[in-house]
Structure 1
Amino acid sequence: MPHLYLHLENHNGLQRDLEGHNYETIDAAISEAGRTAGSVLAEDIAAGRTPVSIRVMIEDADGARIATLQSSTNIDRC
């Protein structure tokens, strides 16, 4: 069971995960990164911040990058 860290980067800068979490698999960590990104994007859109972008970097205990999830969105009002 890998102990992984999900670091978040958005308009607030880089927020490092200092505690990490044990995940059953790397895919489980990627799914959690997706849920985190979706939640933060939704909060930013609700606050009127567009365009918005987010990056969630997944690292192991040695600081090696395992995966990166990146998402952005823009609202074009007509």
Structure 2
Amino acid sequence: MRFYLMPGVGHGTGPFHPAIDSLSALDHWVESGAAPETLQMSDLNTAKLGRTRPLCRYPAWPKFVGGNVTDVASFSCVDR
């Protein structure tokens, strides 16, 4: 079992309007036996379209490590 927090979503009314391909992640998990450590969330909010963030496996949290703040590669999953 895996649990992923969605920072900024706020019960669906936060600054993020998430889009996640969880079905492909689940399919890959079932087919390969490799559970995902992180997933990727894309923002559908028209003001921030294209912004991406990692969804880290709990209890980890995405920490900005430098670079473009709209790019998933600028974040690292770290324990709180």
TM-score of the pair, normalised by structure 1: 0.31
**Whose Rg is larger?**
1
Q: Which has the higher contact order (CA 8 A, sep 6+)?
A: 1
